[in-house]
Amino acid sequence: MNDISQSPERRQIAPGGSRSLLPSPDQRERLRKRRAFKDHFSRYGIGIAGIGVVAALAMIFVYLFSEVAPMFRSASVSPQASYNAPGVDADDELVHLALERYNILGSSFSRSGRATFFEIADGDVRASFELPTPDGAEVSAVGVGAPRSQSIAYGFDNGQVALGVVEYEMTFPDNQRHIEPKLTQPLGDEPITLDEQGRALSVIGVQVSDRGSYIAGATDDGRLLVASFDTRQNLMTGEVTVEQTVVELPGIEGEPQQILIDGRFRHLYVSDERGYIHHFDISNLNNVEYVEAVQVTDSGYVSSMAYLNGTVSVIAGTSEGELSQWIPVRDSHNAYSLVRIRDFASYNGAIRHIQPEYIRRGFLVGDDRGNVGIHYTTSGRDLFQSSLSDQAIRMTAISPSNNLALITDQGNQLQVAEVSNPHPEISFSALWNKVWYEGRSEPRHVWQASSGSNEFEPKMSLMPLTVGTLKAAFYAMLFATPLALMGAVYTAYFMTPRLRGKVKPTIEIMEALPTVILGFLAGLWLAPFIEGSLPAVFSILIFMPLAMLATAYAWSRLPENLRNAIPDGWEAVLLLPTILLVGWLSVAMSPYLEIWLFDGSMRQWLTNIGINYDQRNALVVGIAMGFAVIPTIFSIAEDAVFNVPRHLTQGSLALGATRWQTVMGVVLPTASPGMFSAVMMGFGRAVGETMIVLMATGNSPIMNFNIFEGMRTLSANIAVELPETAVGSSHFRVLFLAALVLLGFTFVINTAAEIVRQRLRKRYSSL
């Protein structure tokens, strides 16, 4: 105030400002600076905070994406070191190569029966063992069991066999890990006779599991023998006795090349030189059956085959470089037959070696042109294929932790290669297409991501979850959309303002209700209630609208003066007694209806006509989630209808249209985009809702639209499984992908709805 009251003249009269109340120029300068500084500070502070917040929100996208992206990367193999395969002399041959899980020791087995353990880093030999060889006999065949069993069998030219199993003993002297390798012989120190006739074994196959050991062999005169070994330890003396049963298999045409036995000792496969795999059923050794011969290739032969982890799938590689996966499929008569379910990228040369991974369904392949590849069955991915040597590949090995590989070529040169292949089991087709899983008779969409067993094949198809999500949302929308839209039209257009002032807050309370409460009521109260009085649900559905119409008609027949006592816009209140009465009657009549129409139990009746009934089903979810969605749709649609410009409706009424004609002809066409966006928003909410579906369904990932069965949705699946998965595993990332899918889906829907709404707002303002 002082500044203004003092005129400029007076300021000039008193230079120096000794008596003036005005701030001096440099004071003003300082003030100006301070204000400018504050202004800048505020501008940049707010700018940083604002951009930071927006960036933080954007980071949700970026982060989810970064967690998902590694799943779709290919494998990489980078050679680290190279040296001559230790323990294999120039005149000897490498027959088996393996790694232990800490990637410290490797083991090589030579044809002469020597096992050598060496440091992977430089190839220094740590220890070496010799398997016993019968006097005067020569090794004539070698067989290797499943990688996890770490077993190897040698067959001799006198019909005898020897079995060796690798064991690692871990100790921690001075807090340092020390691994001591051992070669044990579970069947005793002496070779065991497989062929009583003493002929040379040309091929042998072995399998060792917790149920015992089996060794099969082909003699040079064309007989096939299989022996089961049951080892028992005497509890008193600690002495191990081996019980041996040898059976001769039916003969095959052709010359056996390789023999495989599964870990449950049910199937035995023999490949021959003409491209066939012969399939034997050895589940009952007293009655061994020849099942079939399947042709893998017609122009070459099966040059290598191997069991994958779990010993169900066989990977067959041919001399033409083709790779295919075969599984035994059970038909309706419980008979198994081998079926080719998948092919992989082919190679230039003949497949020389197939090395399965330890705990996954992947495998390494080497061909005779020096190419090495990595493939994965469930996802059908060819993850890596490249030439690593100019000679034929002799042998490969992969670490149990899947991050290191050993590759040897014909010249006995061993390469150590680091492998990066963390998520081979995921591919677009594994997530969304039907996949033929082991043990199934046809390709299916299955979600079963984990199990207690190491031999389990994870089934991660997002299809059942997506279908479940859409099913839940569909039934919720079926329940909510008519109620919410009709209610919105009535509230916005017909209802008296006084009542409207009560209805809108009530609907807002409905919106604020935590979904966990709706879910718990749906699961613990509604589901048993519906199960107990199923006919009531249907009679309410049928009789409620009829009773409303009847009430309305009765009202219209009432005397004029009685009707005029209550003005228009109170219809909803008049209907309350009708609704309560119909509801009560339906529930009370439900047991009688069950007796009259459904032979006493509607649930049983449904089961009899072939409809499954779960207590927590889509009907319950539809009602509960519909309840959660109604307020969302209602508020937005009500806004849209209420904001239709008054002059439009008044014009229509003035031209003689009835109130209903005005609604149908003027209000709805104008407000329909808004109502559409309301429905979209409601759908977006139904898709992402977690607690209600978690609590009101059985959470079984099935694929159908039966209203009486449950479902598992993407969101409920995340809530159930994410806390229990290993961080960074493929399962973990798939759940992140599910979250990303949900995010993307709702984001697109909401954006579309928002754009429609903004357009509508613009249109209203121009009308």
Binding to other proteins by residue 235, rule CB under 8 A?
no
N-terminal to C-terminal alpha carbon distance within the chain? 49
Binding to other proteins by residue 691, rule CB under 8 A?
yes
Percentages helix, strand, coil for the chain (3-state, rounded to 5) are: 40, 25, 30
CB of 466 to other proteins, least distance (A): 14
Q: Give, in degrees to the nearest 5, the angle at Cα 239 between 233 and 241.
A: 60
Among 323, 393, 637, 718, contact with other proteins (rule: CB under 8 A): 718
Binding to other proteins by residue 609, rule CB under 8 A?
no
Contact indicator for 212, 219 with CB cutoff of 8 Å: no
Return the number of the residue (299 or 556) whose C-beta is nearest other proteins. 556
Return the number of the residue (11 or 34) whose C-beta is nearest other proteins. 34
Span interacting with other proteins, options 105-113, 223-231, 320-328, 735-743, rule CB under 8 A: 735-743
CB of 556 to other proteins, least distance (A): 6
Buried/exposed 147-176: b ≥16 CB within 10 Å, e otherwise:
bbbbbbbbbbbbbbbbbbbbebeeeeeeee
- Residue 440, number of CB atoms within 10 A of its CB: 16
Return the number of the residue (240 or 574) whose C-beta is nearest other proteins. 574
Return the number of the residue (294 or 653) whose C-beta is nearest other proteins. 653
Return the number of the residue (311 or 491) whose C-beta is nearest other proteins. 491
CB of 2 to other proteins, least distance (A): 15
Binding to other proteins by residue 747, rule CB under 8 A?
yes
CB of 543 to other proteins, least distance (A): 12
Return the number of the residue (327 or 740) whose C-beta is nearest other proteins. 740
Give dist(CA 440, CA 327) in Å, integer: 9
Of residues 659-678, which lie at the interface with other proteins (CB under 8 A)?
659-661, 663-664
Return the number of the residue (43 or 763) whose C-beta is nearest other proteins. 43
CB of 33 to other proteins, least distance (A): 12
Binding to other proteins by residue 496, rule CB under 8 A?
no
Return the number of the residue (327 or 681) whose C-beta is nearest other proteins. 681
Return the number of the residue (114 or 659) whose C-beta is nearest other proteins. 659
Among 100, 195, 614, 689, contact with other proteins (rule: CB under 8 A): 689
Phi, psi of 634 (to 5 degrees): -55, -50
Binding to other proteins by residue 532, rule CB under 8 A?
yes
Enter the tokens of residue 258.
Answer: 């390789």
- Residue 369, number of CB atoms within 10 A of its CB: 17
Helix (H) or strand (E) holding 588, with range, is helix 571-597
Which residues face 170 on adjacent strands?
179
CB of 655 to other proteins, least distance (A): 16
Give dist(CA 488, CA 510) in Å, integer: 14
Enter the tokens of residue 281.
Answer: 């059923």
Tell me which residue has tokens 């490949």. 271
Which of 627, 611, 603, 618 shows the shortest CA–CA distance to 697? 618
- Residue 492, number of CB atoms within 10 A of its CB: 22
How far from chain centre, in Å, is Cα 736?
Answer: 10
Return the number of the residue (129 or 627) whose C-beta is nearest other proteins. 627
Of residues 502-531, which lie at the interface with other proteins (CB under 8 A)?
503, 506-507, 509-510, 512-517, 519-521, 523-525
Among 257, 690, 697, 730, contact with other proteins (rule: CB under 8 A): 690
Question: Could you tell me how many residues make up the chain?
Answer: 767
Return the number of the residue (262 or 594) whose C-beta is nearest other proteins. 594
Binding to other proteins by residue 155, rule CB under 8 A?
no
Among 128, 193, 729, 746, contact with other proteins (rule: CB under 8 A): 746
Of residues 622-661, which lie at the interface with other proteins (CB under 8 A)?
627, 630, 634, 658-661
Return the number of the residue (308 or 495) whose C-beta is nearest other proteins. 495
The DSSP line for 91-146 is TS-EEEEEE-TTSSEEEEEETTSEEEEEETTT--EEEEEE----TT--EEEEEE--
Which of 289, 295, 286, 283 shows the shortest CA–CA distance to 254? 295
Looking at residue 444, what DSSP letter applies?
B
Binding to other proteins by residue 687, rule CB under 8 A?
yes
Of residues 331-390, which lie at the interface with other proteins (CB under 8 A)?
none
Span interacting with other proteins, options 14-22, 133-141, 331-339, 712-720, rule CB under 8 A: 712-720
Contacts of 710 (CB under 8 A, 6+ apart): 614, 616, 617, 618, 621, 697, 698, 699, 700, 702
Return the number of the residue (17 or 600) whose C-beta is nearest other proteins. 600
Which of 362, 318, 314 shows the shortest CA–CA distance to 338? 314
Binding to other proteins by residue 180, rule CB under 8 A?
no
Alpha carbon distances (Å) from 534 to 527, 591, 595, 612:
10, 9, 12, 14
Which of 561, 583, 565 shows the shortest CA–CA distance to 574? 565
Among 190, 755, 762, 767, contact with other proteins (rule: CB under 8 A): 755
Helical residues (DSSP H) of 490-526, grouped into ranges: 497-512, 515-521
How far from chain centre, in Å, is Cα 363?
Answer: 21
Contact indicator for 449, 464 with CB cutoff of 8 Å: no
Return the number of the residue (10 or 563) whose C-beta is nearest other proteins. 563
Give dist(CA 595, CA 600) in Å, integer: 4
CB of 755 to other proteins, least distance (A): 7
Of residues 448-487, which lie at the interface with other proteins (CB under 8 A)?
482-484, 486-487
Give dist(CA 220, CA 199) in Å, integer: 7
Would you give the binding string for other proteins spanning residues 386-415, x where CB under 8 A is met? ------------------------------
Q: 58 in helix, strand or coil?
A: helix
Q: 211 in helix, strand or coil?
A: coil
Of residues 35-74, which lie at the interface with other proteins (CB under 8 A)?
35-36, 38-39, 41-43, 45-47, 49-54, 56-60, 63-64, 67
CB of 747 to other proteins, least distance (A): 6
Return the number of the residue (247 or 743) whose C-beta is nearest other proteins. 743
Return the number of the residue (206 or 667) whose C-beta is nearest other proteins. 667
The footprint of other proteins on this chain (CB under 8 A) covers a number of residues equal to 116
Return the number of the residue (17 or 45) whose C-beta is nearest other proteins. 45
CB of 420 to other proteins, least distance (A): 21
Of residues 549-608, which lie at the interface with other proteins (CB under 8 A)?
549, 551-553, 555-556, 571-576, 578-580, 583, 591-592, 594-595, 599-601, 603-604
CB of 263 to other proteins, least distance (A): 35
Phi, psi of 722 (to 5 degrees): -60, -40
Backbone Cα Rg of the chain: 39
